[in-house]
Every structure is written in C-alpha cells, then in structure tokens.
Amino acid sequence: MTQGISMYWAGHFYASFIVFLFFVPATALSAPENPNFVLILADDLGWADLPSYGNTYHETPALDRLAESGMRFTQFYAGAVCSPTRANIQSGQHEARFGITQHIPGHRRPFAKLIDPVVPLQLPLEVETFAERLAAGGYSTGYFGKWHLGGPGYGPQDQGWQVAEEFQKHELPPAVTGADGPVRTADYLGEKAVEFIEANRERPFVLQISHYAVHIPLSTTPELLEKYREKSPMAGYPSLPEYAGLLEELDRSVGAIVAALAKNRLSERTLFVFVSDNGGLETDQAGRRYTSNQPLRSEKGTLYEGGIRVPAIISWPGTIPPGTVCDRPAVTTDLYPTFLELAGAMPPAGAALDGLSLVPLLRDPTATLPREALFWHLPHYHHSTPASAVRQGDWKLLEFFEENTSELYDLRADPGESNNLAAIEPEKAAELRVGLAAWRKRVAARLPKPNPAYDPAREDELAKGKRP
C-alpha cells in the first residue's frame, strides 16, 4: 500500500488532480450541507518557514497551492508549546482551564526561583471534543499521528475519534505499518488519510492528521538531503537540509490528501485547514540552531510572537476566493466553533467555549470578530521564565512572574517586539495587566509559587527522570 501511495507524487495522476482542484471558480461562502473537514497539524513549524510566508529555501508546492487557492492568515496564533495547542483545538476552550499549560508531562527546574504548576497527564474525558460533537451528527471521524494529550484510556479513540492511530517519530518500523522495512512517517500519514477518505467518501467526515514534522531530532530521506545540500541557502536563515527535506515530506503528504479529495470529487465539499501547533524552535538546549522566526521575536516555549504566531492556511475551492490574505487575529481555539457552525452542530451543553467561529472571516477577511482580547498562559520554565500575555487590538502585554515585571508592545508598529512601551504607556500597561489578572481568575489558571529551594547557581538545572 505504501508503494501505491508514493505514486501520487511521482506521476501525472497527482499533477492532474492538483490542477483540477485549485483552478475551479470561487464563489461566495455558502456551505454545502454537511461539509467535510480536513485538519493538518504541523509540529514546531515556524511562521517564517513556508514559501507562502516568504521563505526562499524550502519547497512546499502543495502548501503553496493551498495558499493560492484559499486564505492565508498573517496573524494566526497557537499555544506556546504542543500539548496546550492540542488541548485547545480538541476542546474549543483555553488550555489554562485544564492546567495543560506545558507539554505533557512537562519538566521542572528544582532550583529555579519559582515552582511551576504540575501539568495534568491527560485531557479530561469529560471534555466533549469537536470529533464527539460531529460524530453525534452523523460524521465519520478519523485521527492519525501525534496526540500528546494522554496515554491509554485517554487517546483519540477515547475522545470521539472512531478510527485512530497514534504514532510519533519521523520513521516507522514494520511492526506499525506492516511494510517490509521502515516507512517515512509523513508518507504513512498520507496513506492513512487517503484510505480514510476513500472509505468515507459517501458520508460526511472529519479527518485530523497530526504530523511529527518538523520536530527535532531532524531526519529526511537521502534524496531530499542531497537536494537541499546542493541548494543555495536563504540569506539570514539557517537553511538546514534536514529541516527542508522533512518539511517537503510533510508537503508530499498534504499533496496526497488534496489529490484524493479531487479524485473523489470532494474538493468543493471539504474545508481544508493547515496550521502549526506553536512557533518554530530556533535553538535547542545544546545551542544547535534549526530555524528562524524573524521578523518575529523569539521562539517556541515563549510568549513573544515567534513562540505563538504560526502559519495557517484555510482552503475551500469554490467557496473561499483564491489568493485571499487575512490579517485579523485568530487562534487555534477558533477551529472548534468554526467546524460546528459549518456542520450545523450545537456546542456542548454548559461548555464555556473560548473560541469564536471563523466563518465571518472566511466570508470577508476584513470582518471583525466579536472578541475583546486573546490570552496566553505559560507558568513554566521553557525557553523563557514563567509568564502570561494578553493581546487587545494591536496592544500586547507580557507579564513575567519571577520579577513581577511587564512588557508592552504595539504590534502594528512593532511586530518584532523590540520597543517596550510599558514605561511610556503606564496606563495602558496597567489596564491590560488588570484584564489579564481578571482572565486568569475567570479560567482558574494555575500560578507558580516561590521556591524555598531556590539556588541561583543551579537554577537552570533540569530535574532528572520524568516529572510525575
């Protein structure tokens, strides 16, 4: 089966369906009855990593065509690390409500100035995922790839995903795939997605593909490695052949899914979403450099723009006008209510959804969503010290808990967050800080506390063993 899928990106069959899909005429947004949903989630892909966002080293033809055929968001946000984003996508609620504000199980620094909250080991089963809500309305649901929201008893199959396979890493052994030898994970994800689409083409479905690419440790095929070693690097960008090859593998998987939708005449019935789970990892703990989020500041594991602003593309041929760009702020929490509205499904009874439907923006990218502010909460040591953040309009405030300090930025004038205006605009800083504290109280956000074992000489040490 894996060999058969590889033919998608090898021959004219694949190319012909790509042309068919992306050059259909566009009309105003009017959802067909029970549209399908395909959600592709990349891992650690930075805002500046895609050619459609200005990268000249990487090659992603399928994602380029998605952007050309649909809507590309320039101010789309996620959580600061993976599990928080995965939790807010599945629930439509802010991850702070569940305490999943760090990757599961998290890590700790026993001698740091603050003791950060312990992260729960799973998303509560009481949470009704968007898969559960859509399944109740007759949808087939399929999930393949990285979950990172709990172990046995708390996997995707326990949260409304009727067909589910979990796996990570960039290469899978025969015991997982049934092939004669190792199979590249991105190729296998494409294969499973195509199988699911073929099996459910006669009924509405929701499909989530969660890649491990481009998470470290990096690897790619010998052919792609050689291809990018021979390519000229992009000025001011790390331009790693392993990173570029891995991203192209992810792109091939996207292309296979797009071609399968076209083959089964499902393109105009399917909303296709591509997004990353957090900003790019610029530098690991050993100092190795992988990517750059410039012109945005910093990286994964921080609340600066480089840590939380991500690439996002939504395509719906014949419905979303091609080549549309939306600069309105949106967030991964918004996907849940978007899917429910388009499917005509009701939200869970009593659930406090924090996301807003993106349907108004899909109709008109200049529309305004009825939202006062966006919030983030990272009370942990990662690539920053524990912090919270709020964005209201173009103003963004970060509050750091170690020293009880704040930073204030005007993102319209300063998207790179280089000019801290907290001392110049004290009233605005105070207003946002009060609003941020009120939000934390409203969602019962867990806070760090002083560490009696604080040792400045050892504060960067990580605890040995896994965190309970």
Domains, the chain, ranges and CATH? 30-364 (3.40.720.10), 376-450 (3.30.1120.10)
Whether the Cβ atoms of residue 102 and residue 300 lie closer than 8 Å to each other: no
Residue 351 pLDDT? 80
Instruction: Provide the whole-model pTM.
Output: 0.92
Give CA 257 to chain center in angstroms.
18
Residue 12 pLDDT? 35
CB 200: neighbour CB atoms within 10 A?
21
CB 119: neighbour CB atoms within 10 A?
25
Evaluated on CA atoms 102, 105, 109, 114, the torsion sign reads: positive
Of residues 310, 59, 40, the one with CA closest to residue 189:
40
Tokens of 54: 């200005």
* Single-letter residue type at 76: F
Using the 8-state DSSP alphabet, how is residue 113 labeled?
S
Residue 173 pLDDT? 94
**Cα distance between residue 367 and residue 242, in whole Å:** 40
Mean pLDDT by 10 residues, the chain (468 residues): 41 36 41 87 98 98 97 97 98 97 94 97 97 97 98 97 96 93 96 98 97 98 98 97 98 98 97 98 93 98 98 96 97 98 92 93 95 97 96 98 97 98 98 98 98 96 72
Residue 466 pLDDT? 59
